[in-house]
Amino acid sequence: MNNIPALTLAQQRFSLINLSAEIRIVDNLEVADVLAGKKDEISLYKRTEGQLWMERYIETLPINSKPKEVIKKFLVDPNTHTYDAIAFSPLTTPNTTLNYWTGPTTKPKQGNWKVIRSFLYEVICDEDQALYDYFIQFLAHMLKQPEEKPGISIVMLSNSGCGKGTVFQLLNAIWSKTTLEVADINHVIGTFNAALEKNYVICMDESLFKGDKASMERLKSAITEPTIRVEQKYQPSRTINSYHRFFAASNSEHFANIPIDDRRFVFIRVSDRKQQDLNYFNIIHKAINDSSVIGAMVYDLFTMDLTKFNVRRRPFTKEHLKQRLQSLDGFERFWFEVLETGKFRSKSEGLYGSLYDSEWDDSIFLPTQTIINCYTYYDKNATRYEPIQTQKVAAVLTRICPSAKSSRVKNTSGKQERGYQLPNINAARKEFELAIKSPINWQSDTTEIPTDLFNEDYDVDHYCDLMRECQ
C-alpha cells in the first residue's frame, strides 16, 4: 500500500455522484454493504461532511500525504469515478449508474419441493387450480422476466395463523437481499420511501386502505407506473424505473375500497384448514429454511414455460367480487341491496314496510321522491352533509341501470309525478353486473360469481366490455 498514492486509494474508496445538479460524495464500502444485504441504505454525503469523512480515511493510511490536498485533487481529477444516476434495474446499466439491483439469492438445483407446492395449492389457493396456476406462474415470471413489471399486486386475506406470513417467508427465502416487509404503508407510499430503491419484493402486512382513498391511489400508482419518485431524508430526491412486485396480507374482511374497473389486484381467500396448526407449519417452515427444497422450487420455476402466460390476465376470484361489492357506497350500495332483495323499502306512516311485496317481474314506475326516501331509509348518513340532489341520483341511476327511463305518471290524486320507469329485476340485475363489471349469482344465499366463470381462458373484464358494446 505504501507504493500506492493516497489519491488512488481515495478514488478506490470514494466516488462522486451528480443528482439533479447536486454533487455528493459516496462511500464505496457502503455501496458494497448494501449490495451484500448488510446495510439498508447509503449516505449521499454533502461536500462538507463527505470531505471530512474522506479526510478521516486518508489520515488512517500508512502514507505520508496532505489530506486536504488529496481531497482537492480528488474532486477535480478525471479518474475519480462519478455516478450520474441511481437505479434499481435488472437490465444492464452503464458504469456511471449506481445500480442497486441484486437478483435471487437461491441457487436453482433439481430436487423435491412437494411440501411447499402442496402448501401453496391446498392452503394459500384453497385448491383452486386456476388460481394456483396463476400464482406459480407469477412467481416464475418474477424470476425469469424481472424487467417486465406486471402491474398486478397479490393480496391474501384470512384470519390470523392461516399461512399468509409464511408466504412472505417463502419470498424472502428466494430474494433474501431484496425482500422488504412493512407494516406501515408509508414506507412504500409515504414521504420517505428510499427502501423501494433497494428492494424488489414488497410485502405489506396489515397495510389497510379502507376509507383511505388517497393512499389507495398512491399504491395503485406504485403498482402500475413504470417509474417511482424516491424520497430519502436529507438526500436529493430522484426518479428510478420500477420493477417492483407487490404482495399484501390482511386479517380484515375488507382490504380496501376497490373501484369497479380495478385490474390491479388478485385477491386470494386463504383457507383456514390449517389455522394455528403448529405441527403443520413447523414442517412448512423447515422446508422453507432448507436450501435444497427452495433450490428445487427455483429450478422448476426457472424452467417453466411462460410463452402462453400473460401476467396481466389475472384470475377474477370470488374474493375479488366480494371486495368490489364491499367497496360500493352511496346510491350504488343501496341499489345493490335493492337488487339482492328485490324490494324497495322506506318509512311509511310511521311503519317500516315494503313498497312491493310481490315479485319484481315486470317493469315498474317509481316516483323520484320515493326512490330518494328508500335511499335515505337505507343509508341514514346520506343527507349528513347535504341534501340529496335528484340530478345526482339521475346520473348514478343512468350509469348502473341505463334502461331506467325518466317519465311522468299521474298518481291516485290525478297529479303528475316525476319518476322512473324501471325494467324488470332480471334486466336491472344484468345492467348492474355490466356497470360493476362483475357477473353475480343472484340466486345464491351468498352472492358469488357463477362457478362456470372460473376458467383460465375467461377474462371477466373483457367479457363485460364486450357485452356493453353489444347493447
Buried b (16+ CB within 10 A) or exposed e, 423-434: bebeebbbbbbb
CA dist 245 → 54, 107, 203 (Å) = 37, 20, 9
What are the start and end residues of each CATH 3.40.50.300 domain in the chain?
A: 114-324
* pLDDT confidence of residue 237: 86
Fold of 114-324: Rossmann fold (3.40.50)
DSSP reduced 3-state for 203: strand
* pLDDT confidence of residue 236: 84
Is 366:335 a contact under the CB 8 Å cutoff?
Answer: no
Is 179:102 a contact under the CB 8 Å cutoff?
Answer: no
Q: Which residues pair with 18 in a beta bridge?
A: 23
Indicate the burial class of 276 (C-beta count within 10 angstroms; 0-12, 13-18, 19 or more): exposed
DSSP designation for 124: I
Would you give per-residue pLDDT tens digits along the chain (471 residues)? Answer: 567 899 999 999 999 999 888 899 999 999 999 888 888 788 899 999 999 999 999 999 998 899 999 999 999 999 999 999 999 999 999 999 999 999 999 999 999 999 999 999 999 999 999 999 999 999 999 999 999 999 999 999 999 999 999 999 999 999 999 999 988 777 788 777 888 898 999 999 876 665 567 778 888 899 999 999 988 887 888 899 999 999 999 888 878 777 766 788 999 999 999 999 999 999 999 999 999 999 999 999 999 999 999 999 988 788 888 888 888 888 999 999 999 888 888 765 444 455 554 568 889 898 998 898 889 888 888 887 788 888 888 999 999 999 999 998 887 777 888 999 999 999 999 999 988 877 888 865 444 444 444 344 445 444 444 444 444
Cα angle, residue 201 at apex, residues 147 and 244 outer, rounded to 5°: 40
Identity at 240, one-letter amino acid code: I
* pTM of the complete model: 0.80
Whole-number Å distance between alpha carbons of 469 and 268: 30
Whole-number Å distance between alpha carbons of 192 and 196: 10
Find all residues with CB under 8 Å of 429, minimum gap 6, and list them.
339, 440, 442
What is the sign of the dihedral through the CA atoms of 113, 119, 124 and 130? positive
* pLDDT confidence of residue 355: 55
* pLDDT confidence of residue 354: 55
